[in-house]
Amino acid sequence: MIEVQDIHKSFGDNKVLEGIDAVFEPGRVSLIIGGSGSGKSTLLKCIVGLHKPDQGRVFFDDQEFTKMDFEEKVPIRKEIGMLFQNSALFDSMTVEQNIIFTLDMFSDMSRKEKIERANFCLERVNLTKTNKLYPAELSGGMKKRVGIARAISMNPKYLFCDEPNSGLDPATAILIDELVQDLTDEFQCTTIVVTHDMNSVMGIGDYIMFLYQGQKFWEGTKDDILRSDTKELNDFVFASPLMKAAREVIK
Ligand code: ADP
Ligand code: MG
């Protein structure tokens, strides 16, 4: 479980987060949704420790992450898998080297164990026989899957994905969502996905929080979303004709 309490974060005069409280349960995919610039990535970065919140606390299970020093955070960092918005693969490294890089940093496995683990993770994301390819030789969906393979390489208890679907065609996007859902079930991870993709919301939104003007403006499930009467949320969600049609069907 991850809990955030009263998270505030500003950049200069730009108040991005103004008191966010939320609980993210294990074994389910929690979504952070909101318009572009609403602070989704900033919140995720505050949770993983890439940003220091100006105020507020972050707990990983019962441990207060925000009051730990660098050394104290290391064991929790090892339990975090992160898929960045642009996949963030190292272009000069092969697929296999990209995954082994993480294992080199965080594990004390032997060389042979690292290769076996890389193979296991690549198999898990359905990408065998790509070990020796470079990122430039992969499609967008394949890069995302390598990013996911790397994120799960340390068997994470906490899995974070920032816009895992951005730049993908709808069919590939759904495959990535299903993969994130399956891995969450399999490893019982506490998974947080940042997205503005409505297909993801309707596909994997066990718990959804909507960020608006620095606040957690709304929270609920994908079923609640279709019935919501919160104008700010509806303006965001039902901007898509497909979502409008879905609402008409269930009315
Ligand atoms: P989202 O992910 O929802 O699109 P972000 O969290 O990336 O939004 O950004 C929220 C706001 O914070 C934006 O106005 C953005 O310009 C600002 N911001 C994000 N990161 C930084 C940073 N490192 N320095 C200054 N401003 C930032
Ligand atoms: Mg973002």
Distances (CA, A) of 199 to 16, 76, 119, 175, 242: 26, 31, 30, 11, 9
Which ligand lies nearest to the CA atom of residue 166 in the structure?
2
Mean pLDDT for 176-200 is 92
Mean pLDDT for 220-237 is 90
Mean pLDDT for 100-122 is 95
Residue nearest to atom 23 of ligand 1 (CA): 11
| Cβ(32) – ligand 1 distance below 6 Å | no
The pLDDT score that the predictor gives to residue 50 is: 92
| Cβ(42) – ligand 1 distance below 6 Å | yes
Answer whether residue 219 shows pLDDT above 90: yes
Rounded Cα distance, 56 and 46, in Å: 10
The β-bridge partners of 11 are 14
* Predicted confidence band of residue 22 (pLDDT cuts 50, 70, 90): very high
Rounded Cα distance, 134 and 114, in Å: 18
The pLDDT score that the predictor gives to residue 149 is: 92
Question: Measured in angstroms, how far is the CA atom of residue 200 from the centroid of ligand 1?
Answer: 22
Rounded Cα distance, 208 and 221, in Å: 6
Question: Measured in angstroms, how far is the CA atom of residue 210 from the centroid of ligand 1?
Answer: 16
Q: What is the pTM of this model?
A: 0.93
246: tokens are 């879905």
Rounded Cα distance, 52 and 59, in Å: 14
The answer to whether the CB of 47 falls within 8 A of the CB of 110 is no
Rounded Cα distance, 8 and 29, in Å: 24
Mean pLDDT for 160-183 is 89
Answer whether residue 87 shows pLDDT above 80: no
Containing H/E element for 20? strand 14-24
Mean pLDDT for 167-186 is 89
Distances (CA, A) of 165 to 35, 80, 174: 15, 20, 8
The pLDDT score that the predictor gives to residue 79 is: 95
Report the interhelical angle of 111-124 vs 95-106 (nearest 10°). 120
CA of 39, closest atom in ligand 1: 6
The pLDDT score that the predictor gives to residue 160 is: 96
3-state secondary structure (DSSP) of residue 206: coil
Answer whether residue 118 shows pLDDT above 90: yes
The pLDDT score that the predictor gives to residue 242 is: 79
The pLDDT score that the predictor gives to residue 88 is: 86
Q: Please, which residues have CB within 8 angstroms of residue 168's CB and are 6 or more apart in sequence?
A: 140, 141, 144, 176
Question: Measured in angstroms, how far is the CA atom of residue 30 from the centroid of ligand 1?
Answer: 21
Mean pLDDT for 24-38 is 95
Q: Which of 8, 11, 51 maximizes ligand 1 atoms within 8 Å of its Cβ, making it the mutation to test the pocket?
A: 11
Q: Which domains does the chain possess?
A: 1-79+158-172+186-251 (3.40.50.300), 88-155 (no CATH)
Which ligand lies nearest to the CA atom of residue 43 in the structure?
1
Question: Measured in angstroms, how far is the CA atom of residue 45 from the centroid of ligand 2?
Answer: 10
